[in-house]
Chains A and B, each alone.
Chain A
Amino acid sequence: MNDPVAYYPGCSLEGLAVEYDLSTRSVCHALGLSLVELEDWNCCGSTPASLYDPMLSATLAGRNLLLAQRARLKTVMTPCPGCLKALKGAIKAHALHSEAFEEALGHPYEGTVRAVSVLQLLYEKVGPNTLAHAVRWPLDGLSVVPYYGCLLTRPERSAQFDDPENPVSMDLLLEALGCVVPHFPFKTECCGATSGITRADVVARLSGRLLDMARRSGAQAIVVACPLCQQNLDLRQAQAEKAMRSRFGLPVLYLTQIIGWALGLPEQDLGLGKLVVSPFGVLPVRNRREPSHSECVENRGSPLSRG
């Protein structure tokens, strides 16, 4: 039913965000989305490349578009918003300066590949209704806030997905899992982004504000779709606590991890143990006996009737 999608994990999904990679592959597989990892993919250059020359960023990301074109895949999906920004920058650079772009890459490029985030792929190809039907262990009553971060939905003209100021796609997917999603005014505020290494003090303060607002919104956990946001909020939570003179203890899960848990995927396919703040205190325990699908739907009512 669904065409295969090129999968571009990005460097951090091989290291600090390895659980994002694991859970993305497992959830897409479980939901019938076929991912083909791009062979020989390279780093998009991230922020350091954009420091030097816009064409460096465009061609580094462009090389990956070329690989997708060679594999005859029309869509490339990346879970990392930083990589997504670079891919979209490459698409734009090709549209504006195709000659210089192709000359630098050393190969002709047709410009037919589009780039999406894992959030957009799940929202558009699966959607909240189908997801609600696939849920085996509903997270009823679990209060979580979705944190979209800076780049998933903005700027509007390049993201072309959801609202840049008040995105709701992740809210709807989380509600489909049974979660309670309180109003979170800092959905798209910046967590400090790439300054984690060079200015940890700035990141501690900005992430601290986010964690504080999440707690005040009544959240038991934060759900993210960006490796950098996850690191700043989870790995550096102790630094944020120190900066805010407060204690948060808020687990920060990847969207694909929480979906995977509700779908009943095995723990080792989701890498939940790799999170610094353990999510097991807040995630509802899954019983040993798997409920049958009809039991599940019966207990929760039709997802369509839940609005």
Chain B
Amino acid sequence: MKNGQNFLKIQAQSDPDFVRRVEESSGQRISFCYQCGNCTASCAFTGDYDFPVNQVMRLVQLGQQDTVLHCRAIWLCGQCQACTVRCPCTIDVARVMATLRFMALEKGCVADKNVKRFAEEFLRSVSIFGRVFESGLLAAYKARSGMLLADVGLAPELFKRGKLSFVPHRIPGRRHVAALVKRFANVP
């Protein structure tokens, strides 16, 4: 009975256009996936995902836009490409995960706010200086995420070894860099 209900739910939520959009922007044929599970077996992050990679692929095949774009897995994927290398159907699975992540971002579905906060601070740093200013980026991220105490234990080690730079490198071409960031990323 329960399986039957799930089936009806999946049918009702199915959005065939979603499958087409994912296939188009990732350049991958999602329909080739036959659920062998190699991607999941290769994935270092499976234990922390809400949906393992093969299930994300299956959900895309079934047109489950809402579930896929709200899942946490697409934000935690480290893009290590182990899934891509081992896919017997030569699907670039990591590319599909990345595609899903920017589709989610576009729709404002952000299952892991800190990843977005970090990315925003990172690109802000790149826009201002042309290169990343690590110390400044970390301070800004900590302030925004509220994770003030995380990693404070590392600071003395870095300080002692002269690895924390307190001066940013400002490059002459930073305006060109800032223009590129502004054009392609909507960073507040």
Contact = CB atoms under 8 A, between A and B. Distances in A.
B164 A15 contact: yes
A46 B185 CA distance: 14
Given A11-B132, A16-B158, A104-B180, A164 B85 contact: yes
Interface in B111-140: 112, 114-116, 118-120, 122-123, 126, 130-132, 134-135, 138
Interface stretch (B1-9, B14-22, B31-39, B75-83): B75-83
Q: Say whether chain A's binding surface is mostly helix, strand, loop, or mixed.
A: helix
21 contacts: A12-B132, A14-B131, A15-B164, A40-B171, A46-B122, A49-B185, A51-B105, A52-B105, A52-B119, A56-B185, A60-B177, A63-B173, A154-B82, A155-B92, A189-B44, A197-B138, A198-B115, A198-B145, A199-B48, A202-B45, A206-B44
Among B80, B138, B174, find the residue whose CB has the most chain A CB atoms closer than 10 A.
B80
Nearest to B47: A205
A200 interface: yes
Contacts of A55: 184
Among A11, A59, A235, find the residue whose CB has the most chain B CB atoms closer than 10 A.
A11
B80 A151 contact: yes
Contacts of B150: 200
Interface string A150-163: 11001110000000
A155 B45 CA distance: 18
Contact of B169 (A14, A51, A155): A14
A42 B178 CA distance: 10
A151 B118 contact: no
Q: Say whether chain B's binding surface is mostly helix, strand, loop, or mixed.
A: helix
Contacts of A106: 176
Contact of B157 (A47, A53, A190, A276): A276
A206 B173 CA distance: 38
A193 B77 CA distance: 9
B162 interface: yes
Interface string A84-127: 00000000000000000000111000000000000000000000
A192 interface: yes
B23 to A, nearest CB: 15
Interface of A: 11-12, 14-16, 18, 40-43, 45-53, 55-56, 59-60, 63, 104-106, 150-151, 154-156, 164-165, 188-190, 192-195, 197-200, 202, 206, 235-236, 238, 273-274, 276
A51 B119 contact: yes
Given A14-B165, A40-B172, A197-B118, A63 B44 contact: no
Contacts of B48: 199, 202
Given A15-B164, A202-B45, A50 B79 contact: yes
Interface in B130-188: 130-132, 134-135, 138, 141, 145, 150-151, 153-154, 157-158, 161-165, 169, 171-174, 176-177, 180-181, 183-186
B85 A154 contact: yes
B183 A273 contact: no
A146 B181 CA distance: 36
